[in-house]
Structure 1
Amino acid sequence: MRVLVVVASKHRATAEIGDAIVAELRAAGLQVRRVSPAEVRTFAGVDAVVLGSAVYMTQWMESMRALVARHADVLRRLPVWVFSSGLAGVAAGGEVPDPARASALVRGIEPSGYAAFKGRLDPGALGLRERAVTRLGSAAEGDYREWDTIRAWAREVAGELLAHAPAERPLLLR
C-alpha cells in the first residue's frame, strides 16, 4: 500500500513530526514517501494520504491550504488523515485545539481522522516579525512535541490502512 505524507513546515518542527509518522508507517510494512506541498503534482498511484501542516495565526500554512483546494476532488476519493502542529506552550496534558476541524476546506475532503500535536517554539529560528508576534502572544518557548502520542497516532493510521488493504496486493514494498 502506497502512502504519501505531505507536510507543510516552516522551521522543521512539523517536518520532524512527519518523519516520525513516516517511520511508524514504514515499520508497519507500508510504502511511504514524505514530500512538501510544492512537490505534489498528482496523487496518481497513491493509495492513502496523510496531510500535516504547521499552524500559524490559527491557520494551516498557505501551501497546504492551496494544495487541499487544488486537489479536493481527488482527496475526497482517497483515505486521508490530517494533522496540525503548533500551538507551542499548551500545558502538559492540555487539549490542543485543531484548526483543521474548523476549516471548511479540510472538512470538505472528509478525512478519516484528525490529530493536533503540540509544537516547538525556538525563538532563535524565527525572523524579526515572528519573534514580535510570539512576544505579543506570550508564547512560551520550548519543545512541547509529545513523541509517544505522535507515534501512537501513526500506528493507528497504519492499523486502519492494513485492516482495509486489498488481500491480493503485497503490503511490504520498500
Structure 2
Amino acid sequence: MPPRTLSRRDFLKITGLTLGTGVAACGGLTALATYSPAVTLPASTFGDQTMSKKILVAYASKCGSTGEVATAIGKTLAQNGARVDVMPLNKVTDLPGYQVVFIGSAIRVAKWLPEAANFVSENRTILQRIPTAYFTVCMTLAEDTPANRTKAAGFMDPVRKVLAPAAEAYFAGQVDPARLSFFDNTMLKAKGTPVGDFRNWDKIGDWAQSTYAQTCA
C-alpha cells in the first residue's frame, strides 16, 4: 500500500494540537512556579485596655515566621504590665499613640523587606520621639556563629543609618516549604538553605523582657 499523503488540513490540525498542548504545559509550569500559598499574618492585642503603657510591635513578614516572632514578643511585653498591639506594618494607623515601638522584619536579598525600611524612613520624625527597638529574623542565624551574627547585624545597616534604635536583636527564622512558592523553594535548595524551625523562643522572650526594662523604665 502506498504511504498516505498528509493533507494540508490534517497537518494544521496536528500541529495546532501539539502547539496548544505545549502552550498549556508551559502555562501550567509558569503558574506552578509563581504560585504562593496564602499566608496569614497575625494581628493581636495583649494586656488590659486600662493599662497606661501602650506598646506597638509591628513587622514585615514574607511567609509568616516573623509575624509569629512579633506575637511572642508582644505576649512577653504584656506580661510586664503593658497593653500591646501586634500587627503588620501596613496596618499601623496611630503611631503617635504608642509609648514604645518595636519594628521587625524578615530578610530578603540581605536587606529588611522594603515595607519595613520604608516605614522607618517615612515615620522617622515621629519615631525619633518614641523609644524604638528593631528585630531581624533571618536564616543566616540557623547556625549561630560570630561570623553569622556580624553578617546578620549588617542587614540592618541601611535602616540604622535612618534611625538608630534604642535596642536591636537578630533571631534565627524558619523555612517551611509548605509556605513557599515553587520558585522560592527551588532557590533556597540551590543556596543550601536549611529547612526547619530554628527560632529560639527563650532567646526571643528574654530579649523582649530586657528591652521592656530598658525602654519602659
TM range (shorter): 0.7 to 0.9
Structure 2 residue aligned with 1:82: 134
The whole-number CA distance in structure 2 between the counterparts of 1:144 and 1:15 is 15
Cα 1:89–1:160 change in 2 (3 A) is: closer
How many corresponding residue pairs?
Answer: 162
Letter matched to residue 127 of structure 2: L
The aligned residue for residue 34 of structure 2 is: none
Match among 175, 179, 199 for residue 145 of structure 1? 199
Per-residue CA deviation, residues 81-107 of structure 1 (Å, 9 max, x unaligned), is 00000125632566432245322x333
- Alignment-derived partner of residue 153 in structure 2: 98
Q: Which residue of 2 aligns with 1:115?
A: 169
In structure 2, the CA distance between the partners of 1:161 and 1:92, relative to structure 1 (3 Å rule), is closer
- Answer whether contact 1:52 1:82 (CA < 8 A) is retained: yes
* Contact 2:133 2:167 (8 Å CA) reproduced: yes
Stretches of 4+ aligned residues off by more than 4 angstroms: 92-95
> 2:32: which partner in 1?
none
Name the structure 2 match of 1:126.
180
- The alignment's TM-score, normalised by the length of structure 1, stands at 0.86
1:162 Cα shift?
Answer: 3.2
Q: Which has the higher contact order (CA 8 A, sep 6+)?
A: 1
Equivalent residues in 2 for 1:28-67, closer than 5 Å: 28-67=80-119
- Out of 181, 190, 193, the position equivalent to 1:136 is 190
Q: Is structure 2 residue 74 aligned with structure 1 residue 9?
A: no
User: Distance in 2 between the 1:142 and 1:13 partners?
Assistant: 11
Aligned residues: CA RMSD: 1.7
Larger CA Rg, structure 1 vs 2: 2
Distance (whole Å) between structure 1 residues aligned to residue 174 and residue 61 of structure 2: 12
Contact 1:83 1:115 in 2 (8 A): yes
**How far apart in 1 are the matches of 2:123 and 2:77?**
23
Q: Percent identity?
A: 25
> Could you list the runs of 5+ residues in structure 2 that have no partner in the other structure?
1-52
